[in-house]
């Protein structure tokens, strides 16, 4: 659905790793997950490693001549979490963020270091299903509230009845968001 004439989409896949929440079984995962609760321990090293992987992909695009303000990062679930963390913890400018069914990990660490220096006003599209059993809808809302505390350009869209998945309406919203900020 997200085909554009002059916008390149790079969609990396998470590596296969053991996940604590999944009884240590290996599955596609950007970082380890210990629980489905906002108070669960977070895999700081894994989140930072995944962020480094994303930063490497961004730097590859920059070295090929794409200006940073034309590079949007994003993802679904853990991928969206890595994108949000990278956008607001790494302090390197980007054009925007698409965050689907996700949350901002390590947000307390980000604020300990002070308000982000970059990306305080980049456009962010955050989308979430109201019936998501994995990344609860209220986590998405809390993430949005946190982001809006320093970034006025956060748009939150909800999809009634959607679980931890996507829907055509959400993909249309993503397409319109990218076209609005990158041109059609």
Catalytic residues: 77, 132, 164
- Exposure on the CB side of residue 96, measured as CA atoms within 13 A: 17
For residue 110, count CB atoms less than 10 angstroms from its CB and return exposed for 0-12, middle for 13-18, buried for 19 or more.
buried
């Amino acid at each position: 659905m997200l085909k554009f004439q002059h916008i390149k989409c790079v969609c990396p896949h998470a590596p296969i790793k053991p996940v604590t929440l999944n009884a240590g079984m290996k599955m596609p995962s950007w970082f380890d997950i210990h629980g489905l609760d906002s108070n669960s321990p977070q895999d700081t090293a894994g989140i930072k490693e995944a962020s480094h992987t994303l930063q490497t992909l961004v730097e590859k695009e920059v070295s090929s001549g794409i200006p940073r303000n034309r590079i949007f990062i994003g993802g679904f679930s853990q991928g969206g979490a890595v994108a949000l963390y990278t956008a607001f913890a790494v302090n390197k400018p980007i054009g925007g963020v698409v965050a689907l069914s996700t949350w901002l990990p390590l947000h307390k660490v980000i604020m300990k270091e002070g308000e982000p220096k970059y990306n305080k006003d980049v456009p962010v599209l955050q989308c979430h299903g109201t019936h998501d059993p994995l990344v609860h809808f209220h986590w998405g809302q809390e993430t949005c509230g946190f982001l809006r505390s320093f970034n006025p350009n956060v748009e939150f869209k909800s999809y009634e009845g959607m679980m931890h998945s996507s829907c055509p309406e959400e993909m249309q919203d993503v397409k319109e968001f990218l076209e609005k900020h990158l041109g059609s």
